[in-house]
Structure 1
């Protein structure tokens, strides 16, 4: 009976990590309900590759996402972003599942910026590995841009999975549009709407409050999933630690941790 009860939240966890939703790593974004399509930063390779063009210092990152009390299921990932003279580029590799089912993905991204506009492209090779069944493989693509019309406002647009790729069936294409407003030096608001082919639009909201240069807190709301998100970030020199949690009515509490190492100041 215990295994059955644990399977139920595990089922919901799996359902929300299908190929179309497999791009939600980054504890800084998770703390703001993954509403950062218009916010360049440490999660841009997952949230919007166009944001990578705004990165000014390369970094390496490790991600870990776990939902309790779901046994076994977790997501781990690594990424690296590097700055170049003309273009920025990065890689990411992540894996989700347990010993019975696992999805893995490896991607490369390229982005550039100029005249208040940043554009980027990411291509990923993904595979599904269910125990005792055939392996599914596919190639996915994301393309996006970030526009900064004025210093306090950024606008973002990203087309996720524009190849309509899926492991066994075609998955929907998702168009994400959003905006971020910096109310002052300490407060930033973010909002994002996802339009999925054949499905209704989904909206999410986020808030970040920078207490001081090394410490910040965040919150977010995901009405569709009925989730409330909270997060914190601590920076110490080249090192960064991000931790966020999210409530879920079916699957329990999601814990997301990200460690950052900045390659140069």
Structure 2
């Protein structure tokens, strides 16, 4: 017989999965991740915004919503992410993605579509869209400047390196907007050489191989929310090499996450 005097919790409650605190801090190696600058609430008419600057790469993200929509009822909010380069910027891998109209384009290029789709893939699992029925959340990503040495000259590795910081800036803007999230998304980017050695600092190494970008929700048991592979299409990856890639990307994502957490704690 249950004790009626005791206040019980709601039915179906879930015990939060809180990972144990680390005894040693995560080293922020300068060879892996260069110093970067973060700033939130930079756009007044947006619900949330963020600014990120790393080397010569500058990214700005604006979040609008949740905003009500007309029409039939939907039980969860819809998410739309639009990533665009400023017109004067040479887009990375534009020739590979058949961006033939880059000088006279009016809509989004193939590179912009690919970046936008990856961002949507990463953030759909992290946002609690059920909290906002019959609403829409629009995220606008503007790439103001890119680092020629890290983005254009490094081809596939440069495109994935740019995507890593797009994910970081979008996460910060969503936190600034106050939209409920399951976790902040962070990413890591590495290269697997032909010899099978994982090169953490892929941007500074010209050895050929497969470039990988993996995005995580670190507090939810390092749940993978996005993975992007580019490089030698003839090369195959076995299970051991894939685990090595994921582990190295996870280490880098935790370093980025630690810096983002430090900024949020100091800013609030």
Provide TM-score, normalisation by structure 2: 0.29
Q: Which of the two has higher C-alpha Rg?
A: 2
Q: TM-score, normalised by structure 1?
A: 0.29
Higher fraction of helix: 2
| Structure richer in strand, relative to its length | 1
